[in-house]
Amino acid sequence: MKNVTSSYGNTYHHAEDVQTGEFAFTAVEAGDYMACFTAVDHKPEVTLSIDFDWRTGVQSKTWSSVAKKSQVDIMEFDVKRLIETVNSIHEEMFYLRER
């Protein structure tokens, strides 16, 4: 079972009986998030492997798939990526100002 919850207790991702795969979620609340991975008892005992890559902001987008889906030319793709980077910096500046 895998589960992602916010610091307010809201669940953003929940899945059971998952053997492999990827998932993503969009955080709409400020604060810490917790990811829990649970494995049920296995008979006979097995070794489990979890590769975990936690990305936020601009790094979290898969830009190659964005370009493929919208079929934009390279220049427009780069502009979209730069706008996303600027927006991320802008949001971070507001966050730092509030702190």
| pLDDT at position 57 over 80 | no
* Residue 64: per-residue pLDDT: 65
* Residue 68: per-residue pLDDT: 62
Beta strands across the sheet bearing 11-15: 11-15, 2-6, 33-37
Q: What is the DSSP letter of 58?
A: G
pLDDT greater at residue 50 or residue 69? 50
49: left (phi over 0), alpha (psi -120 to 50) or beta: beta
**Strand ranges in 21-98 using DSSP code E only, listed in sequence order:** 33-37
* Residue 67: per-residue pLDDT: 58
Residue 62: pLDDT band with limits 50, 70, 90: low
- Would the pTM of this model clear 0.85, i.e. be above it? no
pLDDT in tens, 1-53: 678 888 888 888 888 887 777 777 777 788 888 888 877 777 787 777 778 77
pLDDT greater at residue 74 or residue 87? 87
